[in-house]
Structure 1
Amino acid sequence: MSTQPPSRTKFYLDKRGGKFMGVCSGIADYTGLDITLVRIMFVSAVFMSGGSVLPLYFIAGFIADDKPSELVLEDNEHQQFWQGVRQSPRRSARDIRSRMRDIDRRLADIESYVTTENRSLAHEIEQLR
């Protein structure tokens, strides 16, 4: 039985960055928000709800999967990219398309320069012979 690779856009518990069960850290990783901000919002929600959100925290901690080790990103640039993908997939796709168009344009310029005849260079080479 083959298993599917882990998804970078799925919610996972992040026990490496978490304090207790990794729920707030997982939420921060999933949404792209700062972990401290998520913790402050959670503590505020606990006080404002009279503690009724605590069962949801524990349910999420028991039901959600742990973040797979192959998704742990040490590079901050990769982390920011994947958080951006989760926040706005359309914007991320648009940015990637824009980068690819720019690379394609630059490659076309290089190809054009290499494949066209450079008469002044050819003339100088002929004079050297």
Structure 2
Amino acid sequence: MSTKPLYRDTENGKLGGVCAGIAVTLGAEVWLVRLIFVSLFFFTGFFLAILIYIIACLLLDKMPIKKQQQQSIYANHSMKTKPWQQGHSAEKLLENITAELDDIDNGLQKMENYVISFSYKMDREFKQQ
């Protein structure tokens, strides 16, 4: 069984990103982790919950940029199957994917236009000499 490292997710976090990081690591909904923390806040005394949060905020590293990008891509492509889950409806998910494919298509068209252009042939000739 592989374990995921625990990071602070400052991109999706409200304060320090501790609850969002725990949610990513556990594969849970962020709102559920926040609800558990608020319950801990009220039932164990305010000081203890704040102390735990501050210690976690100081000890946990920020999520690396590459992992944040992967998380945002995953968030754009996640579909909610239940009303309380995070994600997009099927229609919104289809719109996101269509927009990404259109961007890829535009990039390929620009590349193709450059490769068949006269300036590309001239650049190749000058680089060969």
Using the size of structure 2 for normalisation, the TM-score is 0.52
1:23 maps to 18
The correspondence of residues 36-75 of structure 1 with structure 2, limited to 5 A, is 36-51=31-46, 52-72=48-68, 73=70, 74-75=72-73
The offset of 1:18, in angstroms, is 0.2
After superposition, the C-alpha distances for 1:47-90 in whole angstroms (9 at most, x for unaligned) are: 0001212101100101110000011213228x98xxxxxxxxxx
* Amino acid paired to 1:11: L
* Amino acid paired to 1:26: G
Structure 2 unaligned residues grouped into runs of 5+? 79-129
The correspondence of residues 108-119 of structure 1 with structure 2, limited to 5 A, is none
The 4+ residue runs of structure 1 with deviation greater than 3 A are none
- How many residues align structurally? 73
Higher RCO (CA < 8 A, seq sep 6+): 1
Bigger Cα Rg: 1
SS in 2 for 1:56: helix
State the alpha-carbon separation in 2 of the partners of residues 13 and 75 from structure 1.
18
1:124 maps to none
SS in 1 for 2:13: coil
Q: CA RMSD in A?
A: 2.3
| Match for residue 74 of structure 2 among 73, 76, 96 | 76
SS in 2 for 1:53: helix
State the alpha-carbon separation in 2 of the partners of residues 17 and 46 from structure 1.
21
